Structure 1
Amino acid sequence: MFINNVDQCQWIRQKIETPGIMQFTNAEKRTLLARLIRSTRFEDFLARKWSSEKRFGLEGCEVLIPALKTIIDKSSAAGIDSVIMGMPHRGRLNVLANVIRKDLDQIFCQFDPKLEAADEGSGDVKYHLGMYHERINRETDRNITLSLMANPSHLEAVDPVVQGKAKAEQFYRGDTQGKKVMSILMHGDAAFAGQGVVYETFHLSELPSYTTHGTIHVVVNNQVSYRRFGHNEMDEPMFTQPLMYKQIRRQEHVLKKYSDKLIAEGVVTLQEFEEEVAKYDKICEEAYTSSKDEKILHIRHWLDSPWPDFFTAEGEPKSMSCVPTGLDEEALQHIGQTASSVPLEDFKIHPGVSRILRGRADLVKNRQMDWALGEYMAFGSLLKDGIHVRLSGQDVERGTFSHRHHVLHDQEVDKRICVPMNHLWDNQAPYTVCNSSLSEYGVLGFELGFAMASPNALILWEAQFGDFHNTAQCIIDQFISPGQAKWVRNNGIVLLLPHGMEGMGPEHSSARPERFLQMSKDDPDHFPEFSGDFEVQQLYDCNWIVVNCSTPANYCHVLRRQILLPFRKPLIIFTPKSLLRHPDARSSFDDLATGTQFKRLIPDQGLASQNPAQVKRVIFCTGKVYYELAKERKQQKLEKDIAIIRLEQISPFPFDLVRVEAEKYADAELVWCQEEHKNMGYYDYVRPRFLTVVANKKPVWYVGRDPAAAPATGNKSTHLNELKRFMDTAFNLSAFHGKGL
């Protein structure tokens, strides 16, 4: 009744609410009965065999299975050939068995407590796993692909992920109207009403770069489609809902009701009904016997997004090396000139944008690049190689700090735009840059799902400020950080998180590096030894990559490396704000030349490096603070006494390169300097790793802000005083002498 459109209300009344509207043929009734038998007997079988196991069964809502199968039948008849689904725990095993048609022995073997994991990773409980299956739809005799997405206990978190994957499949198929690919989301009634991500997902439904052209939502309502047991089979609902569950226990099962009705109508005989039940019971028993032969769990059998052309048949990378990420001069010049121009004729741009483009042209002429141009080089070169690039987030088209301007707006013709990146090459891949709704949780989930569809795409989500990923923490904690360990699923999503202490207050300063580093799985006390390519082997073993680039060239290299690696890992980039226009934060085209590659560590290249034996102190740092340290060192004329080394890749930690630098300056003090507070930032992560590198033979001193509760002060004067204080400490060569750890 909340719908304001009279025509829509009348349509619902006529199609759904009119008594007797659902008239089935006898054949349809028999099909419905057969599906109801499978749905009900599957749950009965699990209850008999594993009575003390949690399985989040479908008892009380067995009709969900025939409902879903009918939706899929009708969709297939209408031309749909791919259905992507998301759902909570309840009924998942039944959906896997009787809708997706997962082999029953694979499901039953999951209940074996002695089952060993064949695949690396922590795995997940059986009612969180997903599945991908292509099969013939028996009602339409057409091929259909069914995908049920894996998801954690955060019930509705999977909603935007499903939408993102559906959008990606539509995009890569050229399905601009959602006629071939569709999504189905299942919800519990309480979660549907109470979880905010449901509404963040709805907000995406009409945005051009996010719409999936409609979703079917199936709400399992506990007051109608009731729950025969409690929250799970180990629960006792009589403790808290005694009257309701007395009624539920008196409730006749839907299969008994419906079979009695069809037998009374003469649609089936009692013998036919009993034979159908016996047939399915036999299938379950045979699968149960077969499942006992399964001694090893292959999580790869449960992938919801396989990439068959990317990995070997065994699911391994096809190589374990990374080609150099440099570019030839012709490509650099061509991309730079396009980034500095307007490809369309009679297109009037804003004078401010015109100045920015002229500035880019001057940089290109001098074979230099700033941050925005370095990003342009990365995106443009990947597009040439057929790699789709998608950048999404709040105000990403212009850039929060007005530095990017990937979408140009005609100042005289309403809604006329130009995306120069899509005019770079003939037969290039498409570039998608799209401002999102004011959402982090929903949009990051969407982009994560989009990245699942294909490994041959660079999918980036940019937070307006790095702090704002706070409200997407569930997606980061439950999907991105542990996704490969839980579900053996590679994902190459890139998070761009503007970060830097610039006196802008506690909500516009820190992207919370400590959170990402805390969840990085490399061992701080173990120096890794690899026989092959150290860099690639380390990346293969990690759960994600965390970087803080200080040069535009290195930013370009790390984005290109993300695609040129033979596997996919999430990439977390702490991006700059003030460095976007800092005159020293520039790179030469030589830094991107053919044969160059990403620098995990940038050593000191000044006077200190020429006479390492005379160096008294080595300051390790990362990101923006390098430029402040370099400026202070120059002012104090300490270039010979103090070396400054930049960690560009923080995790996995570049043990090999740090050891080289520590040995080079063997007699110098080691200092870690950061602009973040001591209990935040990188210190707790890097300190034990530095000690492992030097075998605990010397201390690693801390220089930076004192511990604090808030990530930054909101007072400009206090901010500057803090900066001056730790700069003074960093360059006071007597600061640590005589002090113990």
Structure 2
Amino acid sequence: MGSESHDFLPESLDSGLQLGPSWACGDWRSMSDDLTAALDPTQMTAAVKAAAAKPGAPVDGKAIEEAAADSIRAMMLVRTYRVRGHLGADLDPLGLSHQNLPADLDPAYHGFTGAALDRKVYLGGTLGLEWSTVRELVDVLKRNYCGKLGYEYMHIADVDERRFIQDRIEGGDKSIDFTPEGKKAILQAVIRGEQYEKFLGRKYVGTKRFGLDGGEAMIPALEAVIKYGGSRGVREIVYGMAHRGRLNVLANVMAKPYRVIFHEFSGGTANPEDVGGSGDVKYHLGSSTDREFDGTKVHMSLTPNPSHLETVDPIVLGKVRAQQMFRDDIGPGKHKTVLPVLIHGDAAFAGQGIVWECFGFSGVKGYNTGGCIHFIINNQIGFTTSPQFSRGSPYPSDVAKGIQAPIIHVNGDDPEAVTFACKLATDYRQTFGRDVVVDMWCYRRFGHNEGDEPSFTQPLMYQVIRAHPAVSKIYADRLTSQGVIDKDWAAEAEMRFVQALEQEFEASKGYKANQADWFGGRWQGLHAPADPESARRNVPTGIEAKLFDSLGRTLTTVPADLTIHKTLARVIDAKREMFTSGAGFDWATAEALAFGSLASEGFNVRLSGQDSGRGTFSQRHAVWVDQTDERKYIPLTTVPHGKFEVHDSPLSEYGVLGFEWGYASADPKSLVLWEAQFGDFANGAQIITDQYIASSESKWLRANGLVLLLPHGYEGQGPEHSSARLERFLQLCAQDNIQVCNITSPANYFHVLRRQMHRPFRKPLIIMTPKSLLRHPMAKSEASEFIGAAHFKRILSDRSGADDKTTKRVILCSGKVAYDLMEARDAAEITDTQIVRLEQLYPFPGEPLALRLSRMPNLEDVVWCQEEPRNNGSWFFVESLIEEALIAAKCKVTRPRYAGRVASASPATGLASRHASEQGALISHALGTSVRNEIRRRKKA
């Protein structure tokens, strides 16, 4: 078996799948230390000797040793400041966080006291100093490391990254320098932030706005990210943030018109009246805009998010990854044009596990975005909880050390320092493509919201806050003392801005939105379905026989130089037989045909999950691994036009599902699928399901075509490996928001995947995928079912059974149980019973089901059979809908009866014998109580 042309990885995306043994480490950064040489006594002594010796003069050995010892101790002092100087930094604007200078930052700790403080020490260029007294050295170190900025970066293993930061912050000549015009611009931004909050407080008394009051220095800092990022190649920024300061960012960073926000405060909506939907509170909403600095235009979007504070994080990262894909900006040295910026609260950053899940994506193939700027609004409180009860570490940012991200702590009362921190963060990210954290210490002038009383729980803190001057006052006084502005400048700037807000407030009274923005850009040409029923009828998804045969060759041709596993060889041989005979197509082959055919049509396909390359049940084999050197070959990457990606994801559900949702929200032209290892693992991502998959179209007018593959089926494997919690998804179904399928035919699976991309709208698709049916002899399809005018069928009748006119019993079901019912019915030679499978449960196929039932004039019994307990599965969802179909079909029977397991607190038993007994009982109940005895009698006979 061979191939003229094949595609071995690595691909152009990222650095490709891993080459070499699976146990080999990735590209871990060098652990060398740039201070090692400087602290080598031999080298230090030689350097001091060379520098100290006078031409022709004898060398004093003892003096040289003493000088070398001084140099070594001085370098240890430098290193200590680099590692721990942040502990002595002036970070808390309120002065409540009392931190005495750590003992090891005192020169006495390193042996320098008295006259030794003024003795010249050789430093060899460190901090830009060749020779310096220790007193002068400490003065420089304090200015560099213990001012309004504190740095944590010595945990970074890469030497170049550490030196990059040192070059920008160390030395006697290093200071934060802005031009007079730059300082005025920073002050104006702070004034806009402050006066905007005050204006809202006056106009909408008692209304929650989760104001930025106390953290206004963030506004000029974020503008610096736009401006400086644009100069470094950024053309798009995707923001994610929770409530605090969100309305301020929307107005003063995103440039959302003030009149629109005021209109929303007055009870209006930013969307046209005819759009519908439930909407959401204004401090959950998103926006998008373009801003231009120095001739460079940057597109920005703020992603909507719910009250689950950090839920938006993976959404943003997924959106950024998709945008980078559009721009062909993925791979080594790339990821420069699209920048993710996540704005966090201190308590949430430390407390929410999703933050770490997102950090885990950093540098991982398929999920890497080239680094994210994290900005923490460190209010030093979480709702009513003080930091000592929120975490056991000094800073909320400590979790970021796990991926060696540099952390820049900064005092929020110094807008210049905050702006500098964001410029440095942007520079670092654009240079190294890695995450970076800015931790802005500030305070919350009011309570958790404007109607809250914070003095109930933090009376001392709020005594200080009430007496504390505003950021603009502190900074304006500083600029006045520097002669940058006169004493009236700030007051005049405030007055002009408030006047502009008044004009916008008046304009808001007549504001009316004229269009919604959810089908612009990449979504152009798509729309919301006009009718849930008719929009889903007979979408042709069959393919041409020529393409079918071509894909068959792709899926069964092994490159001559690839040594595959012997079991995989048998799997491929079996596939080849399917294409030769035109029969016996299984689930995995049907899936590969769907993926390959979509790629051939120019769509991209992205599949991710914890074991998606091979498949949890060794069924997929999308990736072929060479058994000699672990090279990886992906047959579907050889299909022209579109791209096929399959990624074994980090062991995360919440983060990965959020990432894929974000990716699909940005790219409706890609089939994006997330696969759970077992269906119930989706529990770990329930927040994404509730807040985005089921409701974002209604809340935020954001469509999405994400597909969830959730293995589901009762095979006696216990409660955690049986149920994908179908009932939970069905309970979320309303207003044509999602699609829920429990498919039993490989061909039907093929068509539902293709249908997802071939309709002019996008809806999330939840599929209960099989386990035992992956290889079940009855769960096979013919070649003809994939070709020509074939399409997805929402209901399926079994291939044998009663004639419509002689049918007395119809068993309606969904999923694997259909085959158990068929086998039992045929074994008992029952001839008056049909088994009808509902392949799509929502939107419920009421019309075709009624039509199917109307053809059975002698119907006496209608059963709903399911494997799941009565309080799980589909029963409570379908009961009334089946009743409506029976009435519409004018059947004598008007209500279905239930056949299934009794209600249970656990989804399934863990005992194989009990499972078999329960399964036999529900099958007998569905087919009739005498069925079991009849089967036994026939076996004995």
For 2:224 and 2:766, how far apart are their aligned partners in 1?
A: 42
For 1:76 and 1:32, how far apart are their aligned partners in 2?
A: 18
Q: What is the 5 A alignment of 1:103-502?
A: 103-113=257-267, 117-137=273-293, 140-176=294-330, 177-223=334-380, 224-294=441-511, 296=512, 300=516, 307-311=522-526, 323-342=539-558, 344-368=559-583, 369-414=585-630, 416-425=631-640, 428-502=641-715
Q: Counterpart in 1 of 2:58? A: none
For 2:579 and 2:757, how far apart are their aligned partners in 1?
A: 25
For 1:195 and 1:490, how far apart are their aligned partners in 2?
A: 27
For 1:75 and 1:503, how far apart are their aligned partners in 2?
A: 56
2:847 to 656, 665, 668: 656
Give TM-score, length-normalised by structure 1: 0.91
For 2:368 and 2:855, how far apart are their aligned partners in 1?
A: 55
Q: Which amino acid aligns with 2:360?
A: H
Shift in CA distance, 16/130, structure 1 to aligned 2, threshold 3 Å: farther
Give TM-score, length-normalised by structure 2: 0.72
1:602 corresponds to 2:819: no
1:4 corresponds to 2:217: no
Q: Which amino acid aligns with 1:419?
A: I
Contact 2:708 2:766 in 1 (8 A): yes
Q: Which amino acid aligns with 1:705?
A: R
For 2:535 and 2:176, how far apart are their aligned partners in 1?
A: 58
Contact 1:130 1:147 in 2 (8 A): yes
How many angstroms does 1:605 deviate by? 4.2
Contact 2:186 2:220 in 1 (8 A): yes
After superposition, what is the alpha-carbon deviation per residue over 1:664-712, rounded to whole angstroms, capped at 9, x for unaligned? 2243310000111111001011101111222396221111111111001
How many angstroms does 1:113 deviate by? 2.7
2:817 to 625, 632, 638: 625
Q: Which amino acid aligns with 1:64?
A: M
Q: Which amino acid aligns with 2:264?
A: Q
Task: Provide the secondary structure at the position in 1 that maps to 2:668.
Answer: coil
Shift in CA distance, 16/675, structure 1 to aligned 2, threshold 3 Å: farther
Q: Which amino acid aligns with 1:552?
A: P
Task: Provide the secondary structure at the position in 1 that maps to 2:175.
Answer: coil
How many angstroms does 1:132 deviate by? 1.3
1:690 corresponds to 2:907: no
Task: Provide the secondary structure at the position in 2 that maps to 1:559.
Answer: helix
For 2:343 and 2:679, how far apart are their aligned partners in 1?
A: 32
Identify which range, 595-604 or 55-64, moves more after superposition. 595-604
- Name the Cα RMSD after superposition: 2.1
**The structure with more radius of gyration:** 2
How many angstroms does 1:98 deviate by? 0.8
For 1:378 and 1:114, how far apart are their aligned partners in 2?
A: 45
1:32 to 159, 183, 186: 186
Q: Counterpart in 2 of 1:529? A: none
Q: Which amino acid aligns with 2:358?
A: T
How many angstroms does 1:63 deviate by? 0.6
Q: Counterpart in 2 of 1:589? A: 783
* Structure 2: gaps (5+ residues): 1-82, 84-151, 381-440, 932-941
How many angstroms does 1:48 deviate by? 1.2
Contact 2:801 2:833 in 1 (8 A): no
1:580 corresponds to 2:778: no
Task: Provide the secondary structure at the position in 2 that maps to 1:270.
Answer: coil
Shift in CA distance, 315/375, structure 1 to aligned 2, threshold 3 Å: closer
Q: Counterpart in 1 of 2:760? A: 566
Task: Provide the secondary structure at the position in 1 that maps to 2:311.
Answer: helix
Q: Counterpart in 2 of 1:720? A: 916
Shift in CA distance, 691/180, structure 1 to aligned 2, threshold 3 Å: same
Which contiguous aligned blocks of 4+ residues in structure 1 show a shift greater than 6 angstroms? 17-20, 314-317
Shift in CA distance, 599/645, structure 1 to aligned 2, threshold 3 Å: same
Q: Counterpart in 2 of 1:643? A: 834
1:702 to 894, 898, 908: 898
Shift in CA distance, 569/94, structure 1 to aligned 2, threshold 3 Å: same
> Percent same amino acid at aligned positions?
44
Q: Counterpart in 2 of 1:535? A: none
Q: Which amino acid aligns with 1:4?
A: H
Contact 1:618 1:665 in 2 (8 A): no
How many angstroms does 1:118 deviate by? 3.9
After superposition, what is the alpha-carbon deviation per residue over 1:554-606, rounded to whole angstroms, capped at 9, x for unaligned? 00000000011111000000000011111111100111121111000012443
Q: Counterpart in 1 of 2:419? A: none
Q: Which amino acid aligns with 2:506?
A: T
* Structure 1: gaps (5+ residues): 522-540, 736-741
Shift in CA distance, 304/385, structure 1 to aligned 2, threshold 3 Å: closer
Q: Counterpart in 1 of 2:99? A: none
Identify which range, 113-122 or 429-438, moves more after superposition. 113-122
How many angstroms does 1:733 deviate by? 6.2
Shift in CA distance, 13/251, structure 1 to aligned 2, threshold 3 Å: farther
How many angstroms does 1:127 deviate by? 0.3
Contact 1:397 1:434 in 2 (8 A): yes
How many angstroms does 1:174 deviate by? 0.7
For 2:347 and 2:514, how far apart are their aligned partners in 1?
A: 34
